[in-house]
Amino acid sequence: MFKIKIVDLLNEKGIQLNLKAKNKEEVLKELIDILEASGQLSNRDDFERAVLERENNFSTGIGMGVAIPHGKSNGVKEASIIFGRSEKGIDYQSMDEAPAYIFFLIAVPADSNNEHLNVLSQLSRSLMHSEIREGLKNAKTAQDVIGIFEQ
């Protein structure tokens, strides 16, 4: 079985190292804006609804300064990951109640199998390592971010 890797779903157009958002709602909108600009959405409203519904059920702020919002929707053309970083940190109602600085938005088509759960699991495991989180916080370029996941 073919296993999708994190690096396969990241690209430079989908990486924003200086998010302008000041709150959870704004960060979700900004990440979805980046996804839409990269040409990965056929129906933004449908995807945004899926992400917000997930957030309303439980926050995807996993703690340690990280949030991984995600959605499965007919509005997504192909699986992708958007990376965003906030210098100031955002109150994301994370499990540990600390601000989030690092954001990964996972978008998958509605008809895909549960591959996004595999990607979510890979991402969560990677982000448990403080050196990965520090590398992402200190990345100077989009290529630096991609390089962290190429190892």
Q: Which residues contact 30 (CB under 8 A, 6 or more apart)?
A: 16, 19, 20, 21, 84
State yes or no: is 70 an active-site residue.
Answer: yes
Closest CA to 36 of 27, 28, 26, 44: 44
For 46-60, give one letter per residue: b (16+ CB within 10 A) or e: ebbebbbeebeeebb
Closest CA to 106 of 37, 39, 42, 28: 28
- How would DSSP label each residue in 46-67? HHHHHHHHHHHHS--EEETTEE
- Given 24, 60, 70, 82, which residue is catalytic? 70
Length of the chain: 151
Other CB atoms within a 10 A radius of the CB of residue 17 amount to 17
Positions marked catalytic:
70
